Amino acid sequence: MFKIINELNSNKTARVGVLKTLHGSIQTPAFMPVATKGYVKTVTPDELIAIGTEVVIANSFLLYLRPGLDIIKASGGLHEFMKWPRSIFTDSGGYQMIRPDFYAKVNDSGIIFRSPFDGEKHLFTPEDCVSTQVELGVDVAMVLDHCMKFGSPKDTVKVAVEQTSAWAKRSLEKLSALREVGANPLPQLFGITQGGIDLKLRAWSAQTLTQMDFAGFGIGGLSIGEPKDAMYKVLSHQVPMLPENKPRYLMGVGSPEDLLESIALGVDIFDSVFPTRNARHGTIHTTKGDININRAPYSKQSTLLDDGCGCYTCTSGFTRAYINHLLRNYSILGMRLATIHNLHFLQQLLSSVRARISDGTFFEFKSEFLNKYRKGKNK
């Protein structure tokens, strides 16, 4: 169940809400760290909770491949397997279509994936996708969608949109059938819009899916190579077409700039490997812009990663020089400390956003933050 708590003035764009699931409440706008294979790389569940994480997202197809549903079910479900007590979203695997090491073929039945582990081919249908996520015991499941590469021909994108809509209908029917036979508990099911950057296809996708009874809506097929202004144009066009009383989830987006710009357009939920992958490679979020901690000047700086930061890394006194030393020596500790900092940074950013939406000063906050952040970015 989703409830809007505050909307910014009368424009009904930026808003604060709460999504209630079987494993707790998610304050929105929310950012989900990515736990693709059942873990967020280098950090523990306790550390995620300590920085304010209320929800993570895993990949149902990859978990189906390894370790397999039988092992996870024998452990009591994905929550118990991961030792994660809070909410879990799972993606369907549709995004893996744009990765040549995964994708083999698509037809009206579903997607034929190639396992990255042994090369074996697997047909994943919309019904399989729903059943898998139900067996995992997750809180929010995503339908199987046909995700296209940026720059694909319009006719090809049109077919993908039509298949995504047809699969969405079949997904709801499968969930309804499981409900009738008493399968319990059942996740909330989200539809996913597609259409690339074609506004007419995006409109058709949204209009078709919103006639179906989904608990929320993902916005898929963005942040995969298109220009930023094109992504924002699609969002400004698409978000108003989605129901106001249901959560809107922009898939695969997680930079501070994109979060703030998308929240301003009415998006509620985000996920991305951006903060964790970048941290492991030395890109550190700070209020004065991202820095590449691997660069030589930082090897001599005895200051913290970010002044005033309340994360474990900074409050424990780990310096830029030390993090530089760790990462240049490929230390797991360095990756852990950088990841904790970046995830804390985003969670604190969204906490501030929720407060500023509630008191009516979000746009002032957004302008001040981005002006400061962009000046120092990528030093």
Number of other residues whose CB lies within 10 A of the CB of residue 197 = 18
Catalytic: which of 139, 271, 290, 306? 271
The SS3 of residue 102 is: coil
Q: Are strands 269-272 and 110-114 parallel, antiparallel or unpaired?
A: unpaired
Catalytic: which of 91, 145, 268, 290? 91
CA 145 vs CA 63, 205, 223, 340, 346: distances in Å: 18, 11, 16, 32, 28
Residue with tokens 């989904």: 214
Q: Comparing C-alpha atoms, which of 331, 332, 301, 330 is closest to residue 318?
A: 301
Q: Comparing C-alpha atoms, which of 231, 235, 233, 230 is closest to residue 249?
A: 235
- Quick one: tokens of 168? 């969405």
- Quick one: tokens of 316? 């424990």
CA 147 vs CA 20, 99, 199: distances in Å: 28, 10, 16
Based on the residue annotation, tell me whether 307 is a catalytic residue of this protein.
no
CA 111 vs CA 118, 222, 332: distances in Å: 18, 20, 36
123: enclosing H helix or E strand = strand 121-124
Based on the residue annotation, tell me whether 155 is a catalytic residue of this protein.
no
- Quick one: tokens of 362? 């979000």
Active site positions, annotated: 91, 271
